């Protein structure tokens, strides 16, 4: 076993116990033809294909699920192929990261406005496959909102291009069938690599806005009060350029912060209207930078005793759920305590945007979650906690893992993926669509 064979299994999730004997091939193509050849190798051996970008996905899809599979990495396909400043797009290879794309765009006054926290390693294709975003999705949308088209290769070697108008393909029958089903970029988004291998993307680029921004800091009695304020911001389509909350933190890292709090950056001409919505104190540039730094560093620390983990990653509170946010948080906390875990931190993007399984947009707050893990818990017990959290989220109307998604419990998304795969063929990350919802597979990898 070579080091690179192991390294390709690395990811930022909790699914790390991989059976490397099940990985039947690891490929690092540089061209589309090399991708086609790698897929053909998997096809000939009857193995599933797992597309792999930067490995920052947190739902386990980038592991391939411990079944016999071939893994194909995009780490050597990171070029920006073309930039059209006038038409507002860039053509990029699937492994290009937001930071790499923007390194070429910023000197010409343009930017690719998708900014996940892992933007230095998250690949463009991986970001579309999870429909990732960041703290600016309220303004700029998720990856699907910033993708114009995607070129793909299927398990049998056929090619297709998907955009917002439909599908074109070198196979006219395939093209007609997929267009009959209304396939668009929204279907590729958050499909977790189950539909095909993305070989190239055309992404939107936009200039930097010319506006003076101010900073503000708001404190709330509890998360219900914060939720009411966020609901009003969303209702008014407020021009918040940066919004982050720290909703809760363990006493070992709280450092006297008055929680929950909301850190905001907004245009100067919105200041008076914002005062009508919530009470905030002004932050100068130094104060704003300090609060952003506090938020960023919070999940990178550990409590004095125990180890913090990203057991579940995140919760999406939206709609009327914002008005009872604290009540829902209390229920989830009670569930975690019942499983022997302690809350470490809750923080995230507010206001924010993501998409539900039926492709309708949701607007609210994405609260990332960190817990303190007990040492005596088995992998199965930890995964059972996760499945209980998913059930609780569905009961409370919360979106589980809104940024990285939880496709295994999203019946609408799974049904749509299965419908398209009847036309496109199977062969990519098949474990996600197992009848057991991939639970048995992933629970063995925690």
For 231-269, what is each residue's pLDDT tens digit? 999 999 999 999 999 999 999 998 889 999 999 999 999
Q: How confident is the model at residue 74 (pLDDT cuts 50, 70, 90)?
A: very high
pLDDT at 4: 56
Provide, rounded to the nearest whole percent, the portion of the chain with pLDDT above 90: 74
Same domain for 92 and 48, yes or no, is no
Query: Where does 286-431 show beta strands of DSSP type E?
Result: 307-318, 342-355, 361-373, 399-400
Assess if residue 193 is contained within a domain.
yes
Q: How confident is the model at residue 197 (pLDDT cuts 50, 70, 90)?
A: very high
Same domain for 348 and 235, yes or no, is yes
Please count the structural domains in the chain: 3
Q: Tell whether the model's pLDDT for residue 82 goes beyond 70.
A: yes
Query: Where does 387-440 show beta strands of DSSP type E?
Result: 399-400
Same domain for 232 and 148, yes or no, is no
Same domain for 236 and 202, yes or no, is no
Q: For residues 138-145, give the mean pLDDT.
A: 96
- Mean pLDDT, the chain, integer: 92
pLDDT at 175: 98
Q: Tell whether the model's pLDDT for residue 2 goes beyond 70.
A: no
Same domain for 334 and 360, yes or no, is yes
- Indicate the range of 15-29, 35-49, 374-388 predicted with least confidence: 374-388
Say what angle helices 411-424 and 172-180 make with each other, to 10 degrees.
Answer: 160
Q: For residues 331-358, give the mean pLDDT.
A: 94
Dump pLDDT digits (tens) for 162-196.
999 999 999 999 999 999 999 999 999 999 999 99
Q: Tell whether the model's pLDDT for residue 299 goes beyond 70.
A: yes
Q: Tell whether the model's pLDDT for residue 6 goes beyond 60.
A: no
Domain end, chosen from 40, 75, 110, is at 75
Q: For residues 97-123, give the mean pLDDT.
A: 93
Name which residue leads in pLDDT, 143 or 386.
143
Query: Where does 93-188 show beta strands of DSSP type E?
Result: 110-111, 147-153, 159-163, 167-169
Spell out a b/e string for 193-204, using b for 16 or more CB atoms within 10 Å of the CB, else e: bbbbbbbbbbbb
Same domain for 68 and 8, yes or no, is yes
Q: Tell whether the model's pLDDT for residue 1 goes beyond 70.
A: no
Q: For residues 334-360, give the mean pLDDT.
A: 94
Q: Which CATH number does the domain housing residue 112 bear?
A: 3.30.465.10
Q: How confident is the model at residue 443 (pLDDT cuts 50, 70, 90)?
A: confident
Same domain for 22 and 106, yes or no, is no
Q: Which domain holds residue 196?
A: 80-207
Q: Tell whether the model's pLDDT for residue 402 goes beyond 60.
A: yes
Same domain for 38 and 168, yes or no, is no
CB atoms closer than 10 angstroms to residue 360: 9
CB atoms closer than 10 angstroms to residue 112: 27
Same domain for 248 and 327, yes or no, is yes
Q: For residues 305-322, give the mean pLDDT.
A: 90
**What is the distance between the alpha carbons of residues 130 and 97, in angstroms, rounded to a whole number?**
14
Q: Tell whether the model's pLDDT for residue 377 goes beyond 90.
A: no
Q: Tell whether the model's pLDDT for residue 435 goes beyond 80.
A: no
Assess if residue 143 is contained within a domain.
yes
Same domain for 14 and 137, yes or no, is no
Assess if residue 411 is contained within a domain.
no
Assess if residue 440 is contained within a domain.
no
CB atoms closer than 10 angstroms to residue 177: 17
Q: How confident is the model at residue 10 (pLDDT cuts 50, 70, 90)?
A: low
Q: How confident is the model at residue 202 (pLDDT cuts 50, 70, 90)?
A: very high
Domain end, chosen from 164, 187, 207, is at 207
Using CA atoms of 15, 16, 17, 21 in order, give the dihedral in degrees to the nearest 10: 110
Q: Tell whether the model's pLDDT for residue 297 goes beyond 70.
A: yes
Q: For residues 21-37, give the mean pLDDT.
A: 95
Q: For residues 103-109, give the mean pLDDT.
A: 96
Q: How confident is the model at residue 375 (pLDDT cuts 50, 70, 90)?
A: confident
pLDDT at 311: 84
All residues at 6 or more sequence positions from 432 whose CB lies less than 8 Å from its CB, including other chains: 61, 65, 192, 194, 407, 408, 414, 438
All residues at 6 or more sequence positions from 312 whose CB lies less than 8 Å from its CB, including other chains: 369, 371, 386, 389, 400, 401
Q: Which CATH number does the domain housing residue 59 bear?
A: 3.30.43.10
Provide, rounded to the nearest whole percent, the portion of the chain with pLDDT above 70: 97
Assess if residue 429 is contained within a domain.
no
Assess if residue 158 is contained within a domain.
yes
Same domain for 263 and 334, yes or no, is yes
CB atoms closer than 10 angstroms to residue 76: 14
The sheet with strand 23-27 has its strands ordered as 23-27, 69-73, 48-52
Same domain for 264 and 347, yes or no, is yes
Q: Which CATH number does the domain housing residue 316 bear?
A: 3.40.462.10
């Amino acid at each position: 076993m070579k080091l690179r064979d192991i390294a390709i299994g690395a990811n930022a999730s909790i699914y790390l116990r991989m059976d490397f004997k099940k990985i039947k091939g690891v490929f690092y193509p540089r061209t589309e033809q090399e991708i086609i050849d790698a897929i053909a190798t998997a096809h000939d051996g009857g193995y599933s294909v797992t597309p792999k970008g930067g490995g920052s996905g947190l739902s386990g899809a980038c592991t391939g699920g411990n079944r016999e599979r071939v893994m194909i990495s995009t780490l050597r396909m990171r070029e920006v192929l073309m930039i059209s400043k006038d038409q507002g797009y860039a053509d990029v290879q699937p492994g290009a990261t937001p930071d790499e794309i923007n390194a070429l765009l910023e000197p010409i006054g343009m930017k690719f406005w998708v900014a996940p926290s892992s933007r230095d390693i998250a690949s463009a294709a991986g970001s579309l496959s999870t429909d990732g975003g960041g703290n600016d999705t309220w303004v700029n949308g998720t990856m699907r909102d910033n993708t114009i088209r995607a070129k793909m290769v299927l398990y049998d070697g056929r090619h297709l291009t998907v955009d917002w108008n439909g599908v074109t393909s070198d196979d006219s029958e395939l093209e007609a069938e997929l267009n009959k089903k209304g396939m668009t970029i929204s279907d590729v988004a958050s499909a977790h690599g189950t539909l095909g291998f993305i070989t190239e993307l055309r992404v939107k680029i936009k200039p930097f806005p010319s506006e003076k921004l101010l900073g503000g800091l708001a404190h709330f009695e509890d998360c219900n009060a914060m939720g009411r304020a966020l609901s009003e911001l969303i209702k008014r389509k407020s021009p918040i350029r940066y919004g982050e909350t720290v909703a809760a933190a363990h006493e070992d890292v709280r450092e006297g912060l008055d929680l929950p709090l909301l850190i905001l950056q907004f245009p100067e001409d919105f200041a008076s209207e914002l005062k009508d919505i919530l009470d905030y104190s002004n932050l100068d540039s130094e104060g704003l930078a300090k609060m952003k730094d506090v938020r960023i560093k919070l999940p990178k620390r550990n409590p004095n005793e125990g180890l913090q983990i990203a057991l579940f990653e995140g919760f999406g509170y939206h709609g009327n759920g914002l008005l009872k946010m604290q009540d829902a948080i209390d229920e989830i906390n009670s569930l975690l305590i019942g499983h022997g875990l302690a809350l470490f931190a809750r923080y995230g993007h507010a206001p924010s945007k993501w998409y539900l399984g039926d492709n309708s947009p949701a607007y609210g707050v994405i609260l990332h979650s960190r817990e303190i893990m007990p040492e005596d818990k088995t992998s199965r017990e930890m995964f059972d906690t996760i499945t209980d959290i998913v059930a609780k989220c569905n009961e409370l109307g919360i979106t589980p893992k809104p940024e990285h998604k939880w496709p295994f419990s999203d019946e609408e998304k799974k049904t749509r993926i299965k419908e398209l795969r009847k036309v496109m063929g199977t062969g990519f990350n098949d474990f996600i669509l197992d009848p057991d919802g991939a639970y048995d597979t992933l629970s063995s990898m925690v």
